[in-house]
Chain A
Amino acid sequence: MSYLDQAHPEIQRPVSNLLIMASVLGALLLNSMPWQGLWLSLRPDFVAVAMLYWCTHKPLRFGIGMAWAVGILADVSDASLLGQHALSYTVLAFGGVVLSRRIQMFDLREQTTQVFFILLLTYAVYALVHWQVSGQVAWSYLLGCLTSTLLWVPISLLFQSMRQMRVDRE
């Protein structure tokens, strides 16, 4: 599992804004696929994981304001209360930006535990708002937090390789 140990294998090319936007929009697309039943509660929050990657790796390029705006779009596409995703993604981005230096020091395996707590907080904020509004706690929703955490390693590797490819080409 040597690939897990190298969080920063090479000096990476600067990321284009296009890549960041495309990855977040792609994650939004995956989120809005017609998931149903158990799959829906197991569905990882692709948007959250993708944004967390950019918040931790490029905190000056993708910050809290962007995360909030994406959250508003997620609210519209989910037909949830306007601001519900925005609030939880704001918390997510805050966690990512504040812990960015620390997270970048760890390798991918250690990052996963750190990321788990940020995602747990994000999910908890969303569930808390839902509980306040409708008065019922959906425990099955919190399952998605675990699958999202599992997604951290694949997504990190994917984004890293995408940044790497740009080096090879030029």
Chain B
Amino acid sequence: MDSTQTFQVFNRGPSPGARLVFFAVLSLLLMFVDARFRYLEAARSALSVLVSPIQHLATLPGTLWHKSGDFLVAQSRLLEANEVLHRQHERDSAQLVQSQSLLQENKQLRNLMAMQQRNQFSVQFAEIVYAEIDVFKRKVLINKGGSTHIQAGQVVMDDKGIVGQVTRIYPWLSEVTLITEKNHAVPVQVLRSGLRSIAFGAGNTSQLSLRYMPVSADIQKGDVLVTSGIDGLYPPGIPVAVVEKIERDPAYPFASIVCSPLGGVDKHRHLLVLSALPALPERTQATPVVTPSGKAGGN
């Protein structure tokens, strides 16, 4: 009966086939747990302590290159850049004074109308250690992590607009998912008309798309989209994208709108991480309320 079985002189443990099945099932299990639940974050951040020296070492040549480039810059260019920055600073400070008086006015008006004040937020500076880790994903790693009190969900922007959102925290690094990642959503508002929508990342290109916008929606090419602040996560009024192309095909109920992000989603090295905003009051559960007329209504 056992004539097909080979005779083993040395015990070498389970056969390769058995090992393959064992480790493949283990991997599949891990993937399932990692994709569905968040149990493995602790293990991941513990393992990242092992990996992060390698990552630091790998980015060292790039960092040294940038640093030596910074060091060996000509004085004339520095002077020029300084001049430009000075001018911009003067221009900006004039506008800042104006905007501060507007802010004050807005605050008073909101007080008069008994509306909630806009939340203030502070920022942390961070630098991209590592761009585009994988062909598939649009993510970057920044050099601030759990040790500097970064939290998952914080918003990352540069001087022009929203860049992404912190999605995973390591002790010294954190992972930022760019807004162009597939299915990443940002609640936006058209600056010109106040129309609200949600901008989704297109995934394979560095573009965003507005879905479920009716063909008749008041939106034009060149419109600027800013965050609407409705989700309580993104502070309102930060530029996100500019509308690039609108296709209105009467055969479809929705227009196809392509936007390009304003923030340098894959350009800059220096980013700002906005501190977490105070949480909004918990949304009350929609309990059926029996009205006198006998109809059930939600809140």
B127 on interface, CB distance cutoff 8 Å? no
Q: Which label, helix, strand, loop or mixed, suits the secondary structure of the B interface?
A: helix
Report Cα–Cα, A118/B49, bound state, in Å: 31
Determine whether the beta carbon of B24 is less than 8 Å from that of A91. Answer: yes
Determine whether the beta carbon of B135 is less than 8 Å from that of A71. Answer: no
A17 on interface, CB distance cutoff 8 Å? no
Report Cα–Cα, A79/B31, bound state, in Å: 12
Determine whether the beta carbon of A81 is less than 8 Å from that of B31. Answer: yes
List the count of A-B residue pairs having beta carbons below 8 Å apart.
122
Determine whether the beta carbon of A68 is less than 8 Å from that of B135. Answer: no
Q: Which label, helix, strand, loop or mixed, suits the secondary structure of the A interface?
A: helix
B203 on interface, CB distance cutoff 8 Å? yes
Q: A23-34: contact bitstring with B at CB < 8 Å (1 yes, 0 no)?
A: 001001110111
Determine whether the beta carbon of A76 is less than 8 Å from that of B47. Answer: yes
Q: Which of A63, A83, A141 contacts B31 (CB 8 A)?
A: A83
A82 on interface, CB distance cutoff 8 Å? yes
Select the stretch in A102-110, A126-134, A155-163 that faces chain B. Answer: A126-134
CB distance from B9 to the nearest CB of A (A): 14
Q: B54-95: contact bitstring with A at CB < 8 Å (1 yes, 0 no)?
A: 110111011000000000000000000000000000000000
A87 on interface, CB distance cutoff 8 Å? yes
Determine whether the beta carbon of A29 is less than 8 Å from that of B58. Answer: yes
A6 on interface, CB distance cutoff 8 Å? no
CB distance from A61 to the nearest CB of B (A): 12
Report Cα–Cα, A94/B132, bound state, in Å: 30
Q: Which residues of B contact A40 (CB under 8 A)?
A: 132, 134-135
Within 8 A of B (CB), among A94-127: 94, 97-98
B139 on interface, CB distance cutoff 8 Å? yes
B137 on interface, CB distance cutoff 8 Å? yes
Q: Which of A37, A98, A134 contacts B182 (CB 8 A)?
A: A134
A64 on interface, CB distance cutoff 8 Å? yes
Q: B13-27: contact bitstring with A at CB < 8 Å (1 yes, 0 no)?
A: 000110110011011
Q: Which residues of B contact A84 (CB under 8 A)?
A: 27, 31
Report Cα–Cα, A129/B17, bound state, in Å: 21
A12 on interface, CB distance cutoff 8 Å? no
Q: Which of A65, A78, A82 contacts B133 (CB 8 A)?
A: A78
Q: Which residues of B contact A144 (CB under 8 A)?
A: 135
Determine whether the beta carbon of A68 is less than 8 Å from that of B26. Answer: yes
Determine whether the beta carbon of A41 is less than 8 Å from that of B31. Answer: no
Report Cα–Cα, A97/B14, bound state, in Å: 13
B30 on interface, CB distance cutoff 8 Å? yes
Given A76-B44, A81-B35: A65 and B62 interface contact (C-beta under 8 Å): no
Q: Which residues of B contact A90 (CB under 8 A)?
A: 20, 23-24, 27
Given A32-B58, A86-B23: A64 and B16 interface contact (C-beta under 8 Å): yes
B19 nearest CB neighbor, chain A only: A64
Q: Which of B57, B61, B135, B182 contacts A141 (CB 8 A)?
A: B135
B204 nearest CB neighbor, chain A only: A136
Q: Which residues of B contact A82 (CB under 8 A)?
A: 30-31, 33-34, 40, 43-44
Within 8 A of B (CB), among A32-67: 32-34, 36-37, 40-41, 60, 63-65
16 contacts between A and B (CB under 8 A): A32-B58, A36-B131, A40-B132, A41-B135, A63-B19, A65-B19, A78-B133, A79-B133, A79-B134, A81-B34, A83-B26, A83-B30, A86-B26, A90-B20, A91-B20, A138-B136
- 4 more A-B residue pairs beyond the given contacts A40-B132, A82-B30, with a C-beta to C-beta distance below 8 A: A63-B19, A79-B141, A82-B34, A82-B43
Interface residues of A (CB under 8 A from B): 25, 28-30, 32-34, 36-37, 40-41, 60, 63-65, 68, 71-73, 76-84, 86-87, 90-91, 94, 97-98, 129-130, 133-134, 136, 138, 140-141, 144
Can you list the 5 inter-chain pairs with the closest CB atoms, starting with the nearest?
A83-B30, A87-B27, A83-B31, A83-B27, A82-B34
Interface residues of B (CB under 8 A from A): 12, 16-17, 19-20, 23-24, 26-31, 33-35, 40, 43-44, 47-48, 50-51, 54-55, 57-59, 61-62, 130-137, 139, 141, 168, 175, 182, 203-204
